[in-house]
Chains A and B, each alone.
Chain A
Amino acid sequence: MSPGLRQRLAAILAIAWREATVLRHDRGFVSMIVAQPIIMLLLYGYGLSNTPANVPWAVLDRSQTAPSRRLVREIERSGYFLPPTTIASYDQGHDLLRRGRALAVLVVPPSFRRDLQDGQPRVQLLLDGSDPLSAARVGGYIAQIAHAFGAGPRTREAPLPDTWTAGPIALRQRFAFNPRLADRDFFLATLVGMLLTNLCFSASSLGIVGERETGSYEQTLALPVSAIEIVLGKLLPLVALSYLLFAGTLLAQGLLFDFWPRGSLVALLLLTLPFVLASLAIGVFVSSLAHTSAQAVFITVFFIMPSFVLSGIMFPYEFMPDAIRPIGGLLPLRWYQIALRRLYVRGGDLADVLLPMAAMLAIFGVLLLAIRWQLRPRLG
């Protein structure tokens, strides 16, 4: 190792040490780092789900016969629904939908039993379109139950089995990697990406601007080190902290929810480094644009919000319009979430995540150049 390089490394480490000490004493920062993962884990682990449950619905049964009551009972027994409200008119149904007291209204015509014997039965379903995601799924479930209804007693035993007898074709279905289709797994797989994004963006952006405001950045500039060495020294403890957060989240998810990564752990650890570096670099870049911490906050939010929305950690990016989908590719979180799902849920290994890793490294490289240009030594 040449003396020049050793000196540089020593300078970076010295700055890293100083930075770690500062962070350790920042109580607000430390408490956020501890509290946020706990809150998010509990929310995603226990609370939030897109799978319809406790669906309020109403029945306008104009037939009042044994088969119509059986149909209602079968829908109720599927497990998605609350006991139905019985109503006497369409107006009442519309009113319930309008007030949000029912998501679906099932209308059974007076001739239902006769139609059933003739082989042409029909029921009507009114859905509350103001909750489209739930409405679409509930509509699908009810249609399915109705189709199975005519198929005889075979499907009546087990509510919602793997096999749906859809009229004359049985549809057996399997959800690979997530048999019960738990939304929980969808969120937990990428929770660490969300937490790391928050940590990296806010720590690095607010840190540097804050220092500029108090003047300690200028003091550091007076040291015999280059701007890029300062930046690297500042990032080092944050990288360490990120890995700590990563390990903590991984363990907590495993112990609390028995949700362990199915794929290669080594690949997960390797993958996290370019992501953390790229996210920190975004934070630093943001802070080099801002003059006050208020500005840094606003610009950071400008980056965090699209990151969460466009990356696909909350909403599948496949849903997005074609014009918007590629924009997400500029965000490290998009690539990290793709890779996380492959490693965590689908049991992939290093070879499956090489492309996302390369993409994140490329983003990091570009940002580093931009930061270097922004932070060229100048006072004022």
Chain B
Amino acid sequence: MSWQRLRTLLRREARASLRDPFTIGILVAVPLLAMILFGYVLSTEVRGLRLAVLDRDASAASRRLLADIRATGAFRIVPVRSRGDIERGLVDGRIGGGLVVPPGFGRDLARGRIPEVLAIYDGAEAVLAGNAEAWLRAIVAATGATLATDGPLPPRGSPAVVTSALFNPTLDGVPFMVSGTFGFVLSFLAVLITAVAIVNERLAGTFEQLQVTPATTLEILLGKLLPMGAIFAIDIALMMLAAGLLLGVWPAAHAFFFWSVSALYVLTTLAMGLIFSATSATAAEAVQKTVLFSIPIVQLSGFAFPIRNMPLPLQWVAECLPATHYIRFSRAVYLRGAGPLELWPELLVLALFGALQVGVALRTMATRA
């Protein structure tokens, strides 16, 4: 290993890259695109969900309930005339749910009997239905409490829950997705780019040419990987800026700490890319391998689905993935403003798994060289 040779290789790589604006463009554009896409798509807020309402009572009380539902903005009320309308609307997807207010709703309330309101959700859209359910339950509970106190009944005395969400008072989905997207980009997109770039170099024959020079395999690969890692490190900074300027999400604290740990995590990315490329003969094969392994990795890492909701064996698998620990770290810093003091166990695990992966990559490379 000679620093001089490595420097020469790095200079060569920089020149070659500058002559290839397409690749540079991709390296910068894809992560930014991912950030913007994911930043916008997930929301916990139910907004304007079409709710078919069959009001069989049409009393002051039922109108009050509907007005309360409408006032939240979560539901757009579509009046219907029969249960059949609701069922049909659910099949063709015109409505996201239905609500049936029974006849005598207002009268029952006034007399202290408990009227039964029926809510039907479109179970085909499970995520949406789950959120809508939580919202509607809360609205009905609140309206019920008000109507009962307005009426002749004494308060029934069920505890009111005063809820406040820390770190993200409006339960906005954007910061959640933004912080996860760093993990997605570094564990999937960047791995893919690395793998393809290395295989391509091999196919083009540049590796063989370089191997007849005094440079060792390690130097040649480092000459290729280091500039790439540098670009990914810049990408992280750009993504942080894009998230901040376009989506309004900045790390809650410790921005530089976040960037440095992420830049170190890039080593794991490069290692994965190296493993996939070393075991593939063509670019297509490298892509297939990366997609095959990385998509499950991203799915298990808690990027979109909380790990605690998985069955136990899958939770163990998830705990063994560096991506899991990176995403956990990223969420903690971005949303909860956690710093090195709180996060050191996570960082330790991350470093251990990262070192393991880099070790495996170097071994694979050595055996293939």
Chain A positions within 8 Å of B, measured between CB atoms, are 26, 28-29, 31-32, 35-36, 39-40, 43, 46-56, 71, 94, 97-100, 112, 115-137, 139-144, 146-151, 163-179, 181-183, 185-186, 189, 198, 202, 206, 210, 292-295, 297-298, 301-302, 305-306, 309-310, 314-316, 318-321, 324, 338, 341-342, 345-348, 352
Contacts and interface: CB of A to CB of B under 8 A. Distances in A.
A126 B166 contact: yes
23 contacts: A36-B292, A39-B296, A46-B311, A98-B336, A124-B162, A129-B165, A131-B331, A133-B173, A135-B165, A139-B161, A168-B147, A168-B153, A169-B116, A176-B87, A176-B90, A178-B126, A210-B283, A298-B193, A301-B192, A305-B30, A320-B40, A320-B41, A352-B92
B309 A51 contact: yes
A341 B125 contact: yes
Given A172-B117, A174-B118, A342-B91, 5 more contacts: A132-B173, A133-B173, A171-B141, A295-B22, A319-B173
Interface of B: 22-23, 26, 30, 33-34, 37-38, 40-45, 47, 49, 65, 87, 90-93, 96, 109, 112, 114-131, 133-138, 140-141, 143-145, 147-148, 153-173, 175-176, 179, 189, 192-193, 196-197, 200, 280-285, 287-289, 291-292, 295-296, 299-300, 304-306, 308-311, 314, 328, 331-332, 334-338, 342
B42 A319 contact: yes
Nearest to B342: A99
Given A122-B162, A123-B162, A173-B133, A130 B336 contact: yes
B123 A178 contact: yes
Most buried by B among A31, A94, A316: A316
B130 A132 contact: no
B28 to A, nearest CB: 12
A306 to B, nearest CB: 6
Given A43-B300, A293-B283, A319-B43, A309 B38 contact: yes
A215 B299 CA distance: 38
Contact of A297 (B160, B163, B283): B283
Contact of B167 (A128, A177, A185, A186): A128
B262 to A, nearest CB: 17
B134 to A, nearest CB: 3
A189 B162 CA distance: 38
B137 A316 contact: no
Given A150-B156, A186-B126, A294-B23, A319 B41 contact: yes
Contacts of A179: 123
Q: 5 closest A-B pairs (Cβ-Cβ)?
A: A150-B158, A178-B123, A129-B168, A140-B134, A130-B335
A120 B198 CA distance: 68
A166 B200 CA distance: 63
Nearest to B141: A166
Nearest to B133: A173
A41 B335 CA distance: 32
A40 B299 CA distance: 10
B309 A130 contact: no
A116 B155 CA distance: 10
Contacts of B44: 132-133, 135-136
A168 B114 contact: yes
Contact of B121 (A136, A166, A175, A293): A175
Given A53-B308, A148-B158, A167-B158, A294 B119 contact: no
B37 A305 contact: yes
Contacts of A133: 42, 44, 131, 173, 176, 306
A91 to B, nearest CB: 13
A324 B40 contact: yes
A175 B129 contact: yes
A347 B134 CA distance: 26
Contacts of B156: 119, 150-151, 167-168
Contacts of B34: 305
A380 B166 CA distance: 61
Given A169-B109, A171-B117, A346-B93, A94 B123 contact: no
A49 to B, nearest CB: 5
A112 B87 CA distance: 44
A119 B157 CA distance: 4
A181 B119 contact: no
For B37, B38, B169, B300, the residue with the greatest tally of chain A CB atoms inside 10 Å of its CB is: B37
A29 B170 CA distance: 46
A140 B117 contact: no
B310 A28 contact: no
B128 to A, nearest CB: 4
B41 A310 contact: yes
B166 A129 contact: yes
B93 A342 contact: yes
Nearest to A125: B163
A50 B154 contact: no
Given A167-B141, A298-B30, A139 B92 contact: no
Given A130-B167, A185-B126, A123 B161 contact: yes
A127 B291 contact: no
A352 B283 contact: no
Contacts of B282: 28, 210, 293
A129 B158 contact: no
B49 A318 contact: yes
A28 B289 contact: yes
Contacts of A348: 91-92
Contact of B161 (A39, A125, A342): A125
B158 A121 contact: yes
B144 A32 contact: no
A98 B80 CA distance: 47
A302 B189 CA distance: 10
Contacts of B200: 292-294
Contacts of B158: 121, 146-151, 167
Contact of B288 (A32, A135, A321): A32
B287 A146 contact: no
A285 B12 CA distance: 33
A140 B135 contact: yes
